[in-house]
Amino acid sequence: MQMLTGSQKARLAIREFKAITDAMGIRGFYRPAGRFGKSLEGCLKTLSPEIYGSMNDPRIVELKGLEYVIDRLPIGIEECSKIILTEEDQFDDTLFKEIIPLKRRRKSYRISKNELCFIVSRGLSEIYDIITHMVFLNIEAKKIHRRMHDDLGNYTAEWKTLEKIIQQGENLDLHDLDSAIWNLSIVLGRSYHETRETFDYLENTRRKHCSNCGLFNIIYNLGKKIERERQSPDDGQIVYLTPSLMSIIGQQKYGSIWADTIKSQIKEEDEERPLHIVSSNLHSVLNVIYGYAALEETPESVKDESLWNFFNRIKENRQKILEFARTRGLIEVPDESGTNIDCQLIDTSHFGTMDFHPGLNFDAEHIRKVQPMILVIDYAFGTQAFELMETLLKPYRNRKVPVGSISIMGKAGILDGSKGDIMLATAHVCEGYSDNYIVTNDISQKDFDPDVNVFTGTMATVVGTSLQNRDVLEMFRDKWNAVGLEMEGGHYQKAINAAIIKRYIPKSIKTRYAYYASDNPLETGSTLAAGALGKEGIKPTYMITKIILEKILGV
Alpha carbons 392 and 262: distance in angstroms, whole number: 8
Task: List pLDDT tens digits, range 136-194.
Answer: 999 999 999 999 999 888 999 999 999 999 998 767 888 899 999 999 999 999 999 99
| Confidence at 254, pLDDT banded by 50, 70, 90 | confident
Axis crossing angle, helix 253-269 with helix 384-392, rounded to the nearest 10: 40
The string of DSSP codes covering 475-517 is HHHHHS-EEEEESSHHHHHHHHHHHHHTTSS-TT-EEEEEEEE
Task: State percent of the chain over pLDDT 70.
Answer: 95
Q: Which CATH superfamily is domain 250-553 in?
A: Nucleoside phosphorylase domain (3.40.50.1580)
DSSP, res 5: P
Is pLDDT above 80 for 533? Answer: no
Query: What type of residue sits at position 523?
Result: E
Alpha carbons 41 and 35: distance in angstroms, whole number: 10
Provide the pLDDT for residue 244: 80
Is pLDDT above 60 for 230? Answer: yes
| Confidence at 94, pLDDT banded by 50, 70, 90 | confident
Is pLDDT above 90 for 522? Answer: no
Question: How crowded is the C-beta side of 312, counted as CA atoms within 13 Å?
Answer: 13
Alpha carbons 284 and 468: distance in angstroms, whole number: 29
Give CA separation, 111 vs 97, 226, 453, in Å.
Answer: 8, 21, 49
Alpha carbons 33 and 28: distance in angstroms, whole number: 16
Mean pLDDT over residues 223-245, rounded? Answer: 90
Provide the pLDDT for residue 526: 54
Rounded to two decimals, what is the model's pTM?
A: 0.90
Alpha carbons 393 and 428: distance in angstroms, whole number: 20
Mean pLDDT over residues 478-507, rounded? Answer: 95
Provide the pLDDT for residue 249: 66
Provide the pLDDT for residue 298: 81
Provide the pLDDT for residue 227: 94
Query: Among 7-11, 55-59, 159-163, where is mean pLDDT lowest?
Result: 7-11
Is pLDDT above 80 for 270? Answer: no
| Confidence at 466, pLDDT banded by 50, 70, 90 | confident
Q: What is the mean pLDDT of the chain?
A: 91
CB 219 within 8 A of CB 190: no
CB 514 within 8 A of CB 422: yes
Give CA separation, 486 vs 30, 355, 432, in Å.
Answer: 29, 36, 13
| Confidence at 1, pLDDT banded by 50, 70, 90 | low
Is pLDDT above 80 for 531? Answer: no
Alpha carbons 184 and 189: distance in angstroms, whole number: 9
Is pLDDT above 80 for 268? Answer: no
Alpha carbons 377 and 333: distance in angstroms, whole number: 9
Is pLDDT above 80 for 269? Answer: no
Alpha carbons 28 and 334: distance in angstroms, whole number: 33
Task: List pLDDT tens digits, range 347-383.
Answer: 999 998 899 999 999 999 999 999 999 999 999 999 8
Cα 211 off chain centre by: 17
Which of 552, 327, 543 has its CA nearest to residue 449?
A: 543
CB 66 within 8 A of CB 262: no
Q: Where are the domains of the chain?
A: 6-247, 250-553
Report the DSSP pairing between strands 238-241 and 436-438: unpaired
Mean pLDDT over residues 471-488, rounded? Answer: 93
The angle subtended at Cα 163 by Cα 157 and Cα 168, nearest 5°, is 125
The residues, ordered by sequence, that sit 6+ positions from 391 with a Cβ below 8 Å of its Cβ are 252, 255, 256, 258, 259, 260
Alpha carbons 59 and 61: distance in angstroms, whole number: 7
Provide the pLDDT for residue 306: 86
Task: List pLDDT tens digits, range 320-330.
Answer: 999 999 999 99
Provide the pLDDT for residue 315: 84
Which of 286, 341, 357 has its CA nearest to residue 315?
A: 286
Task: List pLDDT tens digits, range 367-425.
Answer: 999 999 999 999 999 989 999 999 999 998 888 999 999 999 999 999 999 999 999 99
Axis crossing angle, helix 282-294 with helix 307-314, rounded to the nearest 10: 100
